[in-house]
Amino acid sequence: MKIKTLTLDGFKSFADKTVIEFQPGLTGIVGPNGSGKSNITEAIRWVIGEQSAKNLRGDKMPDVIFAGSEIRAGLNRAEVELVLDNSDKYLDYPHEQINIKRRIFKDGESEFYLNNKKIRLKDIVELFMDTGLGRESFSIISQGRVEAIFNSKPEERRKLIEEVAGVLKYKKEKKKAQSELDSTTDHLNRVADIVFELE
């Protein structure tokens, strides 16, 4: 799987629609301090479902919308689109190209689209779960993150290792199966009580 393009429109310092094309090989993004390099990696993290405004250096999610500058008024919405080449079927999705789009409005409501079809955040999270691109992954390491990982609690570090090892999906399925088992056991107990009363 490869990133083909990233389009930022009204996201943080990118007030105008900006398309970044990723060519084969290594891509380096260079620029002076404060020119928006970190905003680009944050846009990738945001479009694939980041839920913490703090992780995007904001207080609340609408802070990702272009807030205005001395010469320009702020905007009412931000949009990021990520186009992935999935011809190796790295992501469990039956298309060679995957377009993921996220939009946010001032009221904080986010919309997600997968190949132009409206989907839920849950669908995005599931698509990337255990792929190494999930929320807790090492794929995107921002400034200060290395230190934070070293200083994190053992349980938090374990979560990271589980994401990388790809066991999170199975843990989630186990939890679901356990809750179904518990509810079936409750039903069986009720049936046993009724049978006991009838005998």
Contacting positions for ligand ATP (CB under 6 A) = 12-13, 31, 33-39, 63, 65-67
Q: Looking at beta carbons only, is 63 or 111 nearer to ligand ATP?
A: 63
As given in the structure block, the two tokens for residue 139 are 């794929």
Considering the complex, what minimum distance in angstroms separates the CB of residue 148 from ligand ATP? 16
Answer positive or negative: Cα dihedral of 172, 54, 140, 121: positive
E strands, the chain, are 2-9, 18-21, 77-85, 97-105, 110-114, 117-119
Alpha helices in 2-65 (DSSP H): 37-47
60 labeled binding residue:
no
24 labeled binding residue:
no
Q: Looking at beta carbons only, is 39 or 86 nearer to ligand ATP?
A: 39
Distance of CA 81 to the CA centre of its chain: 13
139 labeled binding residue:
no
Considering the complex, what minimum distance in angstroms separates the CB of residue 17 from ligand ATP? 15
Q: Who contacts 53 (Cβ-Cβ below 8 Å, separation ≥6)?
A: 59, 60, 61, 63, 64
Considering the complex, what minimum distance in angstroms separates the CB of residue 29 from ligand ATP? 8
36 labeled binding residue:
yes
Contact 134, 128 (CB under 8 A): yes
Considering the complex, what minimum distance in angstroms separates the CB of residue 66 from ligand ATP? 4
32 labeled binding residue:
yes
Detail the residues annotated as belonging to a binding site for ATP.
32-39
Detail the residues annotated as belonging to a binding site.
32-39
